[in-house]
Structure 1
């Protein structure tokens, strides 16, 4: 049987992190909101994906958007059937006994509505596009569901001209990520007839910005043999923090203006592997419920890291296989069983600095107590998680092993 191919492309860009993870919100407004029904599944998928990446690259930088990847393949599931559908949804972390297929897609629709809510203090954009060749006739039901649940743009594309298709898709991604991601889509498959693109773009500003004049070169200890010089940001203020003695790490939450915050986790020397192995939803819940405000002398590197991954290979290792094979059932796209996902690629970029990605001016007078602050110095490898606070979604996740390594 001959097969035509669907290419899944995921572009995640965080130009400045931010998100609060407030569990009281769920109690106040109820747990029946559609987006909250998929929150735990998305979080579990994020950690499983991180574990897979960490096991393959134990000493490198890691950065990716679990939400971008789960969104794209949840959308692919609209066209999946039989065992391919159940395997895909299960692999994404959804228990169909507790959460129906309809509730999963309703959850993503509500999630997009919450993430795209206009806010002058934070810019967060997430979207999907399906580039299709005229030789493929998509079913009306799939098109309706893709537009209804995932706000998908369907864009006609001439894949018979690979250079033209490549240029069209890259131009789209570059525009949606404000020019920060370029030439992501490379070497189209000769048999490609569709490319699904998901993008997520976050730009925010610290609630308590760092003073750039206090940023000084300092040592960052990559490992026992390697030390690099990094620009180290410096601030004394009250931040929410928690010392996890069981996992031997310090957790610090840095809020941004708007509904977002970044969680930085600094393991004790030699404890990174133990910390990473223990990461799961319950550990995260414990951290978020244990954070307390305290005066801190915080030293955090100014850095930019990126990640580029073959998601197909990662998902296969995590048990999602049918969708990439000839035996998979993606007949919900066209009505014919001749479609499979040939490639899935993800690229993400994180840029953290004193204020944000745009020039701003602000004056703030802050009164702090005279008690000696806790010194938290991020001068060894650490983890970063970036959340949307209302929907409890992990937007981005990563490991900073070497801030100087692009």
Structure 2
């Protein structure tokens, strides 16, 4: 597929494989209601697993419903915890994840968890202060608030559940995922060699062709594939001039340098600087989404910066941004990243969910199940006319900027941290540490 020279593209996909556990629970007691959810919650009267239940769209005159701030706070804590856990596995390569994709997919699965597994997932996702009903309602609102489809900025979120034919699933689990997550639910013959291609076609369609394949083959133990896809494509509010892009040296962590195309521009930006880093917010044309770039100061390392990243420091650093004139030199980059998240999620407290006979997903099925694999893929491309997504609502309008400050110079010619952030909801859609933009 050809690249899009006038856009910044970000695509994420998370897939969870669920397998049948070692112990059959076909004689288990009736499935209880999940904590925090009303037992009288309606189920689709025309229930067909292949027909999602659409949520009513608000009328144009309906004010935008705010997202539960407790979910945003939980998601941000989870985001930085996840990045830290993923980076433990390999600090020498580029890491680029979509914590929102992972959080949404795991929230869908959370509807099937019970007992200690539910507690472990709540701890990992930082959802201890929210009932399940509140989690679902907040995620439904978040999806509505985030999605955008116009000529300048496109952001879509898609969910799907692929069920093994012959396996019994709790209708309430399916109903909630259809209702709150607008998930496509479909049954497949997992013995059919064409079934992986059916799933991969969904993946390709919902990532605009950027990710073409997630499933190679089906394991006999597999009973459910749960997928989330986030696709973002946007144009910078202020595009970079291609004629000013120059080959310049980019310094790697080991001290070696390699030539790399560097974009340049001068203007007034939302900018912050401390003794440890320089940071800039590059807004997209809708001015609610921004690409934040944090560059460690000379003598400081990306590892030290990343190790200090938490939801609390992120919030504190945002308060330091103010409008200031200056120049930015930023590398073009295009990368694909994929990882298996079992180890990272185990580090965050979800170990029991991966152990056959220990994992408790009784609210998903009357058979014992466990998570077999959690696979995460991302794609990102940043170029001259790409996207800047900056939220002016909370960033860039502070009166703390000092007009007499001299213009800053920010040359991103060494490893850096970046995040794609939605200021309207406070959501971090993508984040990563880039150690070599040429890879």
TM-score, normalized by length of structure 1?
0.85
Indicate the SS of the match to 1:147. Answer: helix
Which of 124, 128, 133 in structure 1 is aligned with 2:164? 133
| Partner residue in 1 for 2:302 | 272
Q: Residue 239 and residue 338 in structure 1: after superposition, are their counterparts in 2 closer, same or farther (change >3 A)?
A: same
Structure (1 or 2) with the greater helix fraction: 1
Report which stretch shifted further, 181-190 or 102-111.
181-190
User: Which residue of structure 1 aligns with residue 282 of structure 2?
Assistant: 254
Partner secondary structure for residue 92 of structure 2: coil
Match of 2:105 among 43, 49, 72: 72
Is the 1:35–1:391 Cα contact (8 Å) retained in structure 2?
Answer: no
The size of the alignment, in residue pairs, is: 363
1:160 matched to which residue of 2? Answer: 191
| Counterparts of 1:234 and 1:279, CA distance in 2 | 27
CA–CA distance in 1 between the matches of 2:351 and 2:268?
A: 47
Residue 117 of structure 1 deviates from its aligned partner by: 4.5
Which residue does 2:9 correspond to in 1?
A: 16
Q: Flag structure 2 segments of 5+ consecutive residues without an equivalent.
A: 1-6, 11-64, 388-402
> Alpha-carbon deviation of 1:16?
3.3
Q: Which residue of 2 aligns with 1:361?
A: none
| Aligned match for 2:408, one of 363, 369, 374 | 374
Kindly state the Cα deviation for residue 295 of structure 1 after the two structures are TM-superposed.
Answer: 1.0
Distance in 2 (alpha carbons) for counterparts of 1:272 and 1:164 = 44
SS of structure 2 residue aligned to 1:179: coil
Q: For residues 216 and 96 of structure 2, what CA distance do their matches in structure 1 show?
A: 20
Q: Is the 8 A contact 1:303 1:403 kept in 2?
A: yes
- The answer to whether structure 1 residue 107 and structure 2 residue 138 are counterparts is yes
Identify the residue that residue 62 of structure 1 maps to in structure 2.
95
Superposed structure 1 runs of 4+ greater than 3 Å apart: 14-17, 32-35, 117-120, 369-372
Q: Following the alignment from structure 2 to structure 1, what is the Cα–Cα distance between the partners of residues 109 and 87? A: 26
Counterpart of 1:27 in structure 2 is none
Name the counterpart of 1:353.
Answer: 383
1:204 maps to what in 2? 234
2:127 counterpart residue number? 94
| Aligned residue number for residue 314 of structure 1 | 344
Partner deviation per Cα, 1:306-351 (whole Å, 9 max, x = no partner): 22111122111221012211211112122x1421111110001111
> Does the 8 Å contact 1:302/1:354 carry over to 2?
yes
| Per-residue deviation, 1:371 | 9.1
**Structure 1 range deviating more: 396-405 or 117-126:** 117-126
Structure 1 gaps, min length 5: 1-13, 18-31, 358-368
